[in-house]
Amino acid sequence: MKSLKRRKIADTAARWAIRFGGAVTVLVILALFVFIFLEVYPLLQGAMVTKEDAYSVHGTVMSVGVDDHQEVAYVMYNNGTVEFISLHDGVILKRYHVAIPNGSVITSADKDRNRLILGTSDGKIFTVSITFSESFEGDRRAVIPEVSEECWIPLDNQKGGIHCVTSRGDDSTTVTAVYTTDNHAVLIASEAEKTLVGNGEKKEIQKDITGLFIKQGLNQPSLPVFHLSQKEHTGGLAKGEPEVVQPADNPLGTLTEQRSKTEITSLALDLFMENLYAGTPSGELFHINIRDRENPFLVETVKVSESAVTALGFLLGDVSLVVGDASGGVHVWMQVRDELSSSGWALKKVHTLASHGAPVMGIDASQRDKGFVTAAADGTIHLNHATSEQTLLKFATDAQASTLSFSPRANGIMIADAKGRLLQWHITNPHPETTLKTLFGRVWYEGYEKPEFVWQSTGGTDDFEPKLSLTPLIFGTIKGTIYALIIAVPIGIFAALYTSQFLHNSLKIIKPVIEIMAALPSVILGFLAGLWLAPFMERIFPAIIIMPFFITLSIVVAIFCWKILPVFGKGWYRYGIEAIFLIPFIIGAVYISIRLGGGYEALFLEGDYREWLSHILGLPYDQRNALLVGIAMGFAVIPLIFTISEDAMSNVPNSLRSASLALGATPWQTAVRVVLPTASPGIFSAVMIGFGRAVGETMIVLMATGNTPIMDWNLFNGFRALSANIAVEIPEAPHGGTLYRVLFLASLLLFVTTFVVNTVAETVRQRMKLRYSKL
């Protein structure tokens, strides 16, 4: 009785212990899932406004800006006054007046980092530098604004005012382009010759480039041109509808050739000071090459809109050009390689953003990423991101913005409107680059000829465009898994079949030896594959090509020899150890293949198998490739598949085997037609477990491939898997940043994939078990 009670107590304790362990396991898995999901969830959140402020300004505002901490803002008025306003309480901290001529006003303004380029109504151009410095008293920070007038640039023989201006400069060169109210386009450059001891003499260039914007026509009257009055143009932000001015009568009457000037509505110059773009009322965009300042030339004219081009602006890096038009459209254009173009490059539209309901009046780009802000004549403000092609925020104000600014840290937007208000929005926008399209779709990145799947998380410059497509990583994971299973599944299953059905019991010690293989650390396998097997395979690759033929031939020869071997010569062996007789033949086949590999390469592969693969088959050969990973990872997966499959086959009831043999079936027929179907649920489980091991394998893939995130089924090049990518990238990913959370998304994909595959596999296994249990 006491032993029975003890047994019941032990059974109850064991039952509860098992339940507790199972519950803990489930909770741990759920906790892991929740943790990963919480790290990924911020990617699903969009931009938000955290604070909104309003301040009073007076007069016509030409330009606004703010310091890095959004504590002090500057306002540039058209009379040359600069006011610095505290954004804590709206108090004017400092006032400065730019020395513009009496009676003139600023009619156009452009920003170049800390420089303001100002054009006046009497044709003068002034350059003003506005900077912010910091000082600390204990823990209190004080932002100190500073203004300095750098220079003014005279225009030769120009009587009109400045309609629009753009400028870029560096330590030795400054290039400015202007369009005047009397319809003249002028290019101004100041270049200092570089010498061994520094900059030498300055070379001043001023060239009228109006002729580059003249259209040629046959027997056509001059076209009407559009003018924006001085008071309607403020810093590249035009107000009101364009005024149509009829051209003067042609004094020459009918000519076989007439010329019509093209009005310019906006200008944009890249930071390389080589490409000048000009928008027109007809929706055309002129591209002028100004690399040679004295001989600029027209590269191309592109129809970018059906309505007038009203605003132009470069994104960070000055590769992508944002074009806003009178219909409210916002598009991103970029120079792309084009074989049909005479220059080899052509301007193409690569992104389209959400449209405004009114003409786009201003564009300001982020200094941190490919984001930008647009303002329209109806008072709407849009926060956009070019790479992800999404409009993150939309504001609606009751007055048109005269100028706008995107804060240096891309966490604030500021505008001055027609009602004398300075409006500021504090925003949080941590992950503008991520959408379903950027993570899993094709995206047209800067420098690419077409939309592609690309993973490249870091670059060498601050204007780098992150490329975070997980598709190449998913492809690499699938590619490595497939090649590993192609090698591991047949070897593992057939080895298990031979071991369980044909191998002599005295030799079944091979099973624990193979199981020990599963305990080998994957880092050791990856190390051996990357540093020893990869160069070895590269040396003997021609031998690997012919090796399957010689191994097959050796097996045939071994069988033939076994058949003709005298009966008394076989008396020493026991049933189930015939494979020992086969081993010398296979070793001999491998040796012969290696010896003949050089001759085979010389005769059939033109003496260099790499060149032959590249030129004939178009397959480049990399030393660390998918074939190498398939062999190394297959070596790691084989023990799992072998062990579980062998157990499943060994557990097939002997009665079924005996019945099959009694009915006249051969041992091979019994193994294939009885044992394999009966053990199929276990074999399926073995394959699924091997699949899970291959999908999650990290170190072998990391060390045995080139870790190149490319999408190509070529057996002889590398790839990058999700797991290896996490191991490579996570140490360098800033905590909480976009890359950090995208890597957690990759781990979530692995987690969910494993869970779904295992669930489906268990469901299939149970159905197969139910089906074959009736045998």
642 within some domain:
yes
Alpha-carbon Rg of the chain, whole angstroms?
37
Give CA–CA dist 327/590, Å, rounded: 73
**b (16+ CB within 10 A) / e for 552-579:** eebeeebeeeeeeeeeeeeeeeeebebe
Q: What is the structure's pLDDT at 131? A: 93
Q: How far is CA 697 from CA 391, 478, 748, in A?
A: 39, 12, 15
Q: What is the structure's pLDDT at 571? A: 54
Q: Residues in the chain with pLDDT < 50?
A: 216-259, 568
146 within some domain:
no
The tally of domains found in the chain comes to 1
Give CA–CA dist 505/168, Å, rounded: 84
Q: What is the structure's pLDDT at 197? A: 62
Please give the single-letter amino acid code of residue 593: S
Give CA–CA dist 494/642, Å, rounded: 8
Q: Is the dihedral of CA 399, 72, 404, 153 positive or negative?
A: positive
List, in order, residues 6 or more apart from 654 with CB less than 8 Å away.
none
Q: What is the structure's pLDDT at 199? A: 61
DSSP 653: -
Give CA–CA dist 233/361, Å, rounded: 10
387 within some domain:
no
Give CA–CA dist 660/670, Å, rounded: 6
Give CA–CA dist 486/117, Å, rounded: 66
Give CA–CA dist 324/363, Å, rounded: 8
The H or E element that residue 564 is part of is: helix 541-564
Give CA–CA dist 457/396, Å, rounded: 35
- The CATH number assigned to the domain holding 563 equals 1.10.3720.10
Is the Cβ–Cβ distance between 84 and 68 less than 8 Å?
A: no
Do the bridges between strand 258-261 and strand 266-269 make them parallel or antiparallel, or are there none, so unpaired?
A: unpaired
Domain of 648, in residue numbers: 471-774
589 within some domain:
yes
Query: How many residues in the chain?
Result: 775
The H or E element that residue 579 is part of is: helix 578-604
Q: What is the structure's pLDDT at 281? A: 93
* Site of tokens 């595959």: 757
Please give the single-letter amino acid code of residue 67: D
Q: What is the structure's pLDDT at 456? A: 93
- The whole-chain average pLDDT of the chain stands at 86
630 within some domain:
yes
393 within some domain:
no
- Structure token digits, residue 596: 């003949």
Q: What is the structure's pLDDT at 775? A: 58
Is the Cβ–Cβ distance between 179 and 278 less than 8 Å?
A: yes
623 within some domain:
yes
Is the Cβ–Cβ distance between 530 and 703 less than 8 Å?
A: yes
Is the Cβ–Cβ distance between 225 and 183 less than 8 Å?
A: yes
Q: Exposed, middle or buried, 97 (CB in 10 Å: 0-12/13-18/19+)?
A: exposed
